[in-house]
Amino acid sequence: MSPQVLGLQIGAGFGTAFVLANSGEPVPGAAGIALRVAAILCLIAVIVTGFRANRRAEPAPAERPGWFGPKFALIAITEFALIFGGIAVLRALDVPQECNVAWIALVVGLHFVALAPVWKRAAIAVPGVLLTALGATGMVMAALSHLDWIPFVSGTLSGVVLLGGCLYGAARR
């Protein structure tokens, strides 16, 4: 499997997890169910499209840099440390739990922005910027005591962005 297809499938998996975990209250029941079903269908579409494209793809040139090399590892380790370290700091500061998903979206978005030049794929900066904005919006909502909708704004919408970007990327292959 090509690194690009693997990356799209991982991104779609996380996007689906964001939607499944954050499409509850205050989202009306039927809308939450529809969002979850749509997320699962998008995940399936990314997987199927990715495998089909992978079978038709020509082998990558030998001079292409490794997608999952040292720079990726540094970004991934930093992302991991920021997510879990940040959540620990938020917990120590007694920040509302709803901020966790906003923090995760913010860090995941920044991870995509950082990966764009490493992977030489400017297109992945687009969902990165959107996720960063959705995470920052959730943090602002928390500061304004609008906690109820943070999971939807920073979680569900971030998942939709990830799934949309992955579906677009898979379809283009």
Q: Would you say residue 99 has pLDDT above 60?
A: yes
Rounded CA-CA distance 106/86 in Å is 11
pLDDT digit string, tens, across residues 11-57 = 999 999 999 999 999 999 999 999 999 999 999 999 998 888 767 66
Residue 59's pLDDT is 56
Could you tell me which residue, 52 or 91, shows the higher pLDDT?
Answer: 91
- Compute CA distances 113 → 90, 94, 101, 108, whole Å: 23, 29, 18, 9
Share the mean pLDDT of the chain. 91
